[in-house]
Amino acid sequence: MKLLFATDDPALRRTVLAAAGICDIPTPSGFDTMQRALDALGKAPGFDCAIIDYRLPDLGGLKTIEKLCRRDKRLAVALLLPEKEVDLLRQALRTGACAGAPVEISETALASILTLIGEDLGLMVYPIAHKPNLDQGETGLSRREIQILDSLCAGRQNKEIAHMFGIQEVTVKMHMRSIITKLGAKNRTHAAMIALRNGIV
């Protein structure tokens, strides 16, 4: 994946670089203004994903995001917003952004988003409104299921998870089905989203 990000926040810059490292993504191209990011996208097409900090002074609102998404339909745009801007996130998704998350996102959670984008699974929504963490006991997940769910959120495939825990891949699949059922998820991707959103892992 060829990744670009735009932020003038040093902490967020470190988070993006760390997340890229977790995903083994080549060093992303970083810019401290939206204009510089747009110039780079225009001069060197071929980026797969752009992470945009909505707080950038020169962003120009969602109109810029909409123009960017229309200009390059293959570019996956992930918008990072302040936690309170839930309505803004909904609007951003309508303009073509594929994911939204809080600017305070952890490197692990951002790595999971990048992994899901890299798998080309379509539209992904990461709610930015604060929600209370679910107690792991409330989910009914076993200790092993929590471990497997954590590995799933880190972007690992069944074969890797099986090797990590010294179990058969068919056993991982069995646990995965159980996790999906207990969380009321539609599939493994949805299960990962539920886990990240509710702080289960």
Both tokens of residue 6?
């735009």
Give 143-191 pLDDT, tens digit per residue. 889 889 988 887 888 998 888 888 899 999 999 999 999 988 888 888 8
Amino acid identity at 132? P
pLDDT band at 124 (very low <50, low <70, confident <90, very high): low
% pLDDT > 90, the chain: 36
Distance between CA 9 and CA 53 in Å, rounded? 9
* In the chain, domain spans: 3-118, 136-198
Say what the pTM is.
0.62
Distance between CA 91 and CA 170 in Å, rounded? 41
Q: Which of 136, 155, 145 is nearest to 180 (CA)?
A: 145
Span 136-198 CATH architecture? Orthogonal Bundle (1.10)
Q: Report the CATH fold assignment for 3-118.
A: Rossmann fold (3.40.50)
- The separation between the first and the last C-alpha atoms of the chain, rounded to the nearest angstrom, is 26
Distance between CA 11 and CA 80 in Å, rounded? 13
